[in-house]
Amino acid sequence: MTTTEATRRAFAERQDELMRFYGVDARSRFVEIDRPRMRVHLLEAGAGEPLVLIHGGDGEGALWAPLMAALQDDFHLYALDRPGCGLSDPFDYRDVDLRQHAGDFVDSVLDAPGLESATLVACSMGGFFALVTALDHPARVRRLALVGMLLGMISSAPLGLRVIAGVPGLSRRFMRSRATIEAQRAQYKQMFGMDPDTIPEPYLRSRVAGVSIPRVPGHLGVLLRRIAGLRGLKPGLYLGEELADVTAPALVL
């Protein structure tokens, strides 16, 4: 068994542990999509109206477990792993039009299980994917809920992101530095202002297992550099001037 296979298996085990901890009756499955052509991992739970959860950063769909527990009695949930994250196929961001990629990806994921439209719930980088979909594929989005620091909603970028993305080599070192429980606790305290003692161990173990999966060249370190630099957000990613064009009912938290 290769290192990649072993780490993916370890993450799948931690993912299942996290779902059990929160009492989410989730099914892990893979779907093939066309844009981009790849295999995408989904956690599917509940029944009712379709609701798609899109994670931020270099996270995974499993990190929505606390919210999935609260929603699974009312919605048919699809928590996806974005390209190159979790158990979805690796992805190279070096030569990608990020806006087109974001909209095409969500549009194709909705096609895979035969969904005409769905409510999208997303945070951070996932919020960019959701907002682009609402703008460029409006018929696919019933409602929109955007949580946290959403990429593209404002024209600036946080100082921490500008430094990590703009200093050569720092994004790669940052990605490699978080594969321990202690590093995850520190990140949640420093970046999100959370008391790390309130974060359950199964959640942190899932995070460590996720960031321990080897990534291909051109993955998340490159994505960070494509998003921002020392001077701020890269051109073409600010969507604030288009917000009036969103036709779906929207909630921003």
- So what's the pLDDT on residue 175? 72
Taking phi over 0 as left and psi of -120 to 50 as alpha, with beta for the rest, 173 belongs to: alpha
Lowest mean pLDDT among 2-6, 87-91, 145-149, 159-163: 159-163
Query: Between 75 and 232, whose confidence is greater?
Result: 75
Q: pLDDT at residue 215 above 70?
A: yes
Give the domain CATH number at 44: 3.40.50.1820
How long a stretch of residues is the chain? 253
Q: On the CB side of 97, how many CA atoms lie within 13 Å of its CA?
A: 6
With CA atoms as reference, report the closest residue to 60 among 172, 203, 182.
203
- So what's the pLDDT on residue 218? 64
- Average pLDDT of the chain to the nearest whole number: 93
Instruction: State percent of the chain over pLDDT 90.
Output: 75
Rounded mean pLDDT, 92-101: 93
* Contact indicator for 88, 80 with CB cutoff of 8 Å: yes
Query: Between 31 and 156, whose confidence is greater?
Result: 31
Residues with Cβ < 8 Å from 188, sequence gap 6 or more? 194, 196, 199
Residue 75 belongs to what domain range?
Answer: 3-252
Rounded mean pLDDT, 156-166: 85
- Alpha helical stretches, state H, the chain: 3-22, 65-71, 98-111, 124-136, 159-166, 170-176, 181-192, 201-211, 220-227
- So what's the pLDDT on residue 40? 98
Q: On the CB side of 223, how many CA atoms lie within 13 Å of its CA?
A: 25
- So what's the pLDDT on residue 90? 92
* Contact indicator for 171, 225 with CB cutoff of 8 Å: yes
- So what's the pLDDT on residue 22? 98
Distance of CA 95 to the CA centre of its chain: 20
Number of domains in the chain: 1
Q: What pTM was estimated for this model as a whole?
A: 0.95
